[in-house]
A = this chain, B = another copy of it.
Amino acid sequence: MNVQVEPAKLKAKDFASDQEVRWCPGCGDYAILKAVQMSLANMGAQPDNTVFVSGIGCAARFPYYMETYGFHTIHGRAPAVASGVKIANPELDVWVVSGDGDALSIGGNHLLHLLRRNVDVQFLLFNNEIYGLTKGQYSPTSQAGQKSPSTPQGSVDAPIDACTFALGCNARFIARGIDIQAKQLGDIFTRAQEHKGASFVEIIQNCIVFNDDAFAHFTEKSVAKETQIHVKHGEKLIYGADGNKGIRIKPGAFELEAVTIGEDGVTEDDILVHDETNRVLANLLVAMKPPEMPIALGVIYCDPAPSYERAVQAQVEASMANGAGDMDKLLRSGNTWTVS
Contact = CB atoms under 8 A, between A and B. Distances in A.
A157 interface: yes
Interface stretch (A11-19, A162-170, A180-188): A162-170
A85 B107 CA distance: 23
A157 B168 CA distance: 16
Contacts of A118: 158
A240 interface: no
A117 B169 CA distance: 18
Secondary structure class of chain A's binding surface, majority of residues: helix
Interface in A248-293: 249, 254-255, 278, 280-281, 283-284
Interface stretch (A123-131, A212-220, A304-312): A304-312
A168 to B, nearest CB: 1
A106 interface: yes
A315 B156 contact: yes
B112 A108 contact: yes
A161 B153 CA distance: 37
A154 B112 CA distance: 21
Interface size class of chain A, counting residues whose CB lies under 8 Å from the partner chain: 35 or more
Contacts of A314: 156
Interface in A160-209: 160-161, 164-170
A311 B169 contact: no
A28 interface: no
Contacts of A249: 254
A159 interface: yes
Contacts of A159: 116
A101 to B, nearest CB: 12
Nearest to A110: B109
A315 B153 contact: yes
A228 to B, nearest CB: 23
Interface string A86-121: 000000000000000000011111001100111000
A8 interface: no
Contact of A160 (B169, B278, B312): B169
A166 B167 CA distance: 11
A167 B160 CA distance: 11
Contact of A254 (B113, B140, B254, B318): B254
- Chain B CB within 10 Å, residue with most, of A158, A284, A305, A308: A158
A229 B214 CA distance: 44
Contacts of A167: 168
Interface in A4-42: none
Nearest to A106: B109
Interface of A: 105-109, 112-113, 116-118, 140, 153, 156-161, 164-170, 249, 254-255, 278, 280-281, 283-284, 305, 308, 311-312, 314-315, 318-319
Minimum-distance CB pairs A-B, first 5: A168-B168, A156-B311, A254-B280, A109-B109, A108-B109
